């Protein structure tokens, strides 16, 4: 009895193993054709040839062709035709000229004018490998993907057909009615229409704004993007930052963190924490300790303020710069401060407003407003309008003063050469013999001309009748030593370090960070 049960158990176990083995066997492909059927041996394998209206089925895959070779031992098929067509489920269609299909791995290799279609996009290529089990379509000989919004081309492409996500490599170009994206590596979600760039990329909008990000994402529907490190170029200027934001529908662009704005044509560099560019208005605001650097002759003009505003002509060409609040200016031969300033690049004039004060060598200049005229990259004239006053110290710290309604200072080689004074002109001039004070000259006239030598008052010419007097030292009283509006403001005179590093003037001056994107221009 024991032997009978043992034999029965062995049979049952054998049958169970056999059934399990059969269950693990790949499902065989099925086929039919309306034409001839031929069997032959090729390379030691039995091959069955089908002709006319070939239909091959395998699980949820159906293949149509004009002719086919079935290799039963490998559960595979080679299909040929004017149009070989593969249907995967009810959503994916692949057409081409030649197909290799492996039923064991469910891998299809289509060549010859290949077109892949699903509800989200269409792919065109010469050769496509489609792994149906892994849900992955791959091309390596160049391809083009088209959806309702975009056209993308690249040398290599990897498409996850399940989540509709494509990875592109080499010579990637995304074309959109509003822009073009060029990159070496780009990923694209065919459902959300969001493109992800990996590495140096160039994005060109239809109105010629160019973004050069390093990494980030761009929504091709909303036209909004967020990038890490890159630059924005419009016309003659660029905005560089560690972070970029763009809204191409509203035409608003932002460079954030370590922002650098450059205008090569105007030889201007502006640094700050953040820059906002409003293209439709032609305005760029720079915030967070902004500093402007402008090449002038063999010198550099430095300017800082709470906010800098660049105005362009609508084509990216800067026409004016404006500075608001706590304006400080430094040039080797000119320093100044004011509440606000405008720099008109069209006529090369710089206007200072609200309590401005400028220093040139030993001369302090104040007025209700001051305008500087630049010519040949250096200061040519300075116009002081209303309540004009020039003050300088002599060798023993006396204050020589010139006052008038308006003044025009003429510069030569960066120094004041002469000053025309118009309306209610007054002067206070200390007469010295060596270091000995011998008297104070005081004069009053309608208009006068003052000449300077080495930055010091040298000669005064009066154009109308003059009232003049000289006060000897022993008769001099304090009110006699000051003209109306006199105020010595030397402690406000900014240093280069204060202008370049407005947040912390004691910090050393550092060079601008090199822009890593220049290599892909």
Q: Is residue 80 part of a domain?
A: yes
CA distances to 305, 371, 372, 478 from 409, rounded to whole Å, are 25, 10, 9, 29
CATH code for the domain in which residue 424 is found: 2.60.450
Cα–Cα distance for residue pair 371/356, rounded to 1 Å: 10
Q: Is residue 438 part of a domain?
A: yes
Where does a domain end: 52, 77, 110? 110
Q: Is residue 223 part of a domain?
A: no
Locate tokens 């049958």: which residue?
Answer: 15
Q: Are the CB atoms for 97 and 109 separated by under 8 Å? A: no
Q: Is residue 258 part of a domain?
A: no
- Residue 13 confidence (pLDDT): 42
- Residue 515 confidence (pLDDT): 37
Cα–Cα distance for residue pair 171/168, rounded to 1 Å: 9
Q: Is residue 458 part of a domain?
A: yes
Q: Is residue 420 part of a domain?
A: yes
Mean pLDDT of each 10-residue bin along the chain, 521 residues long: 44 40 68 85 88 93 95 94 93 96 96 95 96 95 93 96 94 92 93 92 89 92 91 87 92 91 86 91 91 85 92 82 92 90 89 91 88 84 91 84 90 82 86 80 86 76 81 80 88 91 47 35 30
- Would you state the structure tokens that stand for residue 138, as one six-digit string? 């791959």
Cα–Cα distance for residue pair 519/318, rounded to 1 Å: 25
Provide DSSP, 66-111.
EEEEEEGGGTEEEEEEEEEEEEETTTEEEEEEEEEEETTTTEEEEE
Give the β-pairing of 179-189 and 201-205: antiparallel
Name which of 136, 131, 188 is nearest 158 in CA terms.
136
- Residue 396 confidence (pLDDT): 82
- Residue 192 confidence (pLDDT): 92
Here the contacts of 391-394 (C-beta below 8 Å, separation 24 or greater) are 391/363, 391/364, 391/366, 391/486, 391/488, 392/362, 392/363, 392/364, 392/455, 392/456, 392/457, 393/362, 394/430, 394/432, 394/456
- Residue 503 confidence (pLDDT): 67
Q: Are the CB atoms for 306 and 292 separated by under 8 Å? A: no
**Does pTM top 0.75 for this prediction?**
yes
* Helix (H) or strand (E) run with residue 22 in it: helix 2-24
Question: 148: burial class by Cβ within 10 Å (0-12, 13-18, 19+)?
Answer: exposed
Q: Is residue 441 part of a domain?
A: yes
Q: Is residue 218 part of a domain?
A: no
Number of domains in the chain: 2
* Helix (H) or strand (E) run with residue 13 in it: helix 2-24
Q: Are the CB atoms for 143 and 115 separated by under 8 Å? A: no
Cα–Cα distance for residue pair 253/215, rounded to 1 Å: 16
Range of the domain at 475: 356-498
Provide DSSP, 386-449.
EEEEEEEE-TTS-EEEEEEEEEEEEEETTEEEEEEEEEEEEEEEEEEETTEEEEEEEEEEEEEE
Q: DSSP alpha helices (H): ranges in 196-238?
A: none
């Amino acid at each position: 009895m024991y032997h009978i049960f043992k034999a029965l158990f062995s049979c049952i176990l054998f049958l169970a193993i056999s059934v399990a083995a059969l269950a693990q066997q790949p499902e065989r492909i099925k086929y039919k054709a309306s034409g001839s059927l031929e069997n032959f041996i090729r390379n030691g394998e039995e091959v069955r040839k089908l002709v006319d209206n070939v239909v091959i089925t395998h699980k949820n895959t159906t293949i149509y062709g004009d002719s086919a070779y079935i290799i039963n031992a490998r559960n595979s098929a080679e299909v040929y035709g004017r149009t070989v067509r593969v249907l995967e489920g009810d959503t994916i269609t692949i057409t081409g000229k030649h197909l290799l299909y492996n039923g064991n791995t469910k891998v299809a290799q289509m060549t010859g004018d290949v077109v892949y279609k699903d509800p989200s996009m269409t792919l065109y290529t010469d050769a496509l490998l489609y792994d149906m089990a892994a849900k992955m379509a791959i091309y390596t000989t160049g391809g083009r993907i088209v959806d309702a919004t975009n056209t993308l081309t690249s040398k290599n492409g990897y498409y996850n057909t399940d989540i509709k996500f494509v990875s592109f490599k080499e010579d990637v170009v995304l074309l959109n009615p509003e822009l073009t994206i060029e990159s070496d590596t780009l990923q694209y979600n065919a459902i959300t229409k969001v493109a992800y760039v990996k590495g140096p990329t160039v994005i060109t909008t239809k109105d010629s704004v160019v973004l050069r990000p390093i990494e980030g994402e761009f929504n091709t529907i909303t036209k909004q993007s967020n990038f890490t490190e890159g630059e924005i170029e419009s016309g003659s200027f660029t905005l560089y930052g560690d972070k970029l934001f763009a809204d191409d529908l509203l035409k608003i662009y932002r460079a954030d963190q370590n922002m650098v704005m450059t205008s090569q044509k105007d030889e201007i560099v502006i640094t700050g924490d953040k820059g906002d560019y409003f293209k439709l208005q032609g305005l760029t605001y720079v915030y967070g300790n902004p500093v402007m650097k402008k090449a002038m002759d063999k010198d550099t003009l430095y300017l800082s303020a709470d906010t800098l505003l660049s105005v362009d002509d609508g084509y990216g060409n800067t026409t004016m710069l404006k500075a608001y609040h706590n304006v400080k200016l430094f040039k080797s031969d000119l320093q100044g401060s004011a509440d606000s300033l405008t720099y008109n690049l069209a006529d090369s004039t710089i206007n200072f407003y609200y309590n401005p004060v400028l220093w040139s060598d030993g001369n302090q200049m104040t007025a209700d407003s001051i305008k500087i005229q630049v010519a040949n990259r250096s200061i040519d004239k300075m116009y002081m309008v209303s309540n004009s006053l020039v003050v300088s110290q002599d060798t023993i710290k006396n204050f020589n003063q010139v006052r008038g309604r308006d003044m025009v200072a003429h510069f030569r080689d960066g120094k004041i050469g002469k000053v025309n004074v118009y309306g209610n002109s007054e002067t206070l001039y200390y007469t010295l013999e060596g270091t000995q004070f011998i008297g104070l000259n005081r004069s009053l006239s309608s208009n006068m001309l003052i000449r300077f030598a080495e930055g010091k008052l040298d000669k005064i010419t009066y154009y109308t009748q003059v009232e003049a007097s000289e006060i000897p030292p022993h008769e001099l009283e304090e009110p006699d030593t000051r003209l109306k509006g006199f105020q010595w403001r030397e402690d406000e005179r900014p240093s280069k370090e204060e202008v370049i590093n407005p947040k912390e003037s004691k910090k050393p001056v550092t060079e601008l960070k090199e822009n890593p994107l220049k290599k892909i221009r």
